[in-house]
Amino acid sequence: MQKFSPRKRWSPLQSTLLFLLMSLVQLMPSCQAWADNDSGTSTAPVVVHVSVDSADQAADSLNAQIALRQTIRLKVSNLTQWMKAENINRDKLMLYIDGVPFRFGSGAHNIGPGLVRDSVLVFDLRRDEQNKDAWTRLLGRNVNNFFDETRTVPLTVGLENGVQAKAADITLVRINSKNLRLFLIFIVVFLVLFFVLAIRSDILRDSGGQPTLQGRKTYSLARTQMALWFVVITVGYIFIWMVTSDIFSLTEGVVGLMGISTATALGSIAVDSNKYNQLKNQRNEQAEKRLACEREAEKFGSEIVSLSQLDAAAPCAESRNALSEKRAELAAKTKEMQQLDHSIQIIDKSLASKTSKGWYKDLFYDDDGISLHRVQVAVWTLLLLGIFISSVADTLTMPQFDPILLALMGISGGTYVGFKLPEKQG
Q: pTM of the entire structure?
A: 0.68
Is the same domain home to 86 and 235? no
Is there a domain that residue 27 lies in?
Answer: no
Instruction: Measure the CA–CA gap between 191 and 220, rounded to whole angstroms.
Output: 19
Q: What pLDDT is attached to residue 232?
A: 93
Q: C-alpha angle with apex 86: 105 to 154, nearest 5 degrees?
A: 55
Q: Is residue 341 part of a domain?
A: no
For residues 389 and 240, the answer to whether their CB atoms sit within 8 Å is no
Closest CA to 100 of 133, 128, 75: 133
What's the one-letter identity of residue 313? A
Q: Which of 142, 174, 206 is the last residue of a domain?
A: 174
Range from 26-30, 43-47, 62-66, 251-255 carrying the lowest mean pLDDT:
26-30
Give CA–CA dist 224/31, Å, rounded: 77
Q: Do 134 and 244 share a domain, yes or no?
A: no
Within-domain flag for 199:
no
Residues 273, 136: one domain? no
Residues 77 and 162 grouped into a single domain: yes
Top-confidence range, 59-73, 170-184, 410-424: 170-184
Q: Quick one: 274 and 383 in the same domain?
A: yes
More confident residue, 414 or 39: 414
Q: What is the DSSP letter of 129?
A: T
134 part of a folded domain: yes
pLDDT for 28: 53
Full domain range(s) for residue 237: 221-282+354-419
Calculate what percentage of the chain has a pLDDT beyond 90.
Answer: 9
- 237 and 120 in a common domain: no
Report the distance separating Cα 74 and Cα 81, nearest Å. Answer: 16
With cut-offs at 50, 70 and 90, classify the pLDDT of residue 16.
low
170 and 270 co-located in one domain: no
Same domain, 274 and 376: yes
* Number of CB atoms found within 10 A of residue 239's CB: 22
Same domain, 147 and 236: no
Write the pLDDT tens digit of every residue in 289-343.
888 888 888 887 887 777 777 767 777 777 778 778 878 888 888 888 888 888 8
pLDDT range class, residue 234, cuts 50, 70, 90: very high
pLDDT reported for residue 188: 92
Q: What would the mean pLDDT of 111-130 be, rounded to a whole number?
A: 75
Q: Do residues 236 and 155 both lie within one domain? A: no
Q: What is the pLDDT of residue 58?
A: 46
Query: Minimal CA–CA distance to 157: which of 85, 81, 103?
Result: 103
Number of structural domains (the chain) is 2
Share the mean pLDDT of the chain: 78
Contact 104, 110 (CB under 8 A): yes
Q: How far apart are the first and last CA of the chain?
A: 137
- Of the given ranges (97-106, 169-178, 232-241, 401-410), which has the lowest mean pLDDT? 97-106
Which CATH number characterizes residue 113's domain?
A: 2.60.40.10
**Helix residue ranges, H only, 352-402:** 359-364, 372-395
Say whether pLDDT at 29 is over 60.
Answer: no
- Domain contains 195: no
166, 193 Cβ separation under 8 angstroms: no
Burial 394-417 (b: 16+ CB within 10 A, else e): ebbbbbebeeebbeebbebbebbb
State residue 116 phi and psi, 5-degree precision: -125, 120
Question: What's the whole-number mean pLDDT along residues 126-137?
Answer: 79
Q: How many CB atoms lie within 10 A of CB 87?
A: 7
Mean pLDDT of 181-191: 90
> Residue 318: exposed, middle, or buried by beta-carbon count in 10 A (0-12, 13-18, 19+)?
exposed
Choose the final residue of a domain: 157, 174, 191.
174
Pair (55, 169) in one structural domain: yes
Among the candidates 174, 206, 232, a domain finishes at 174
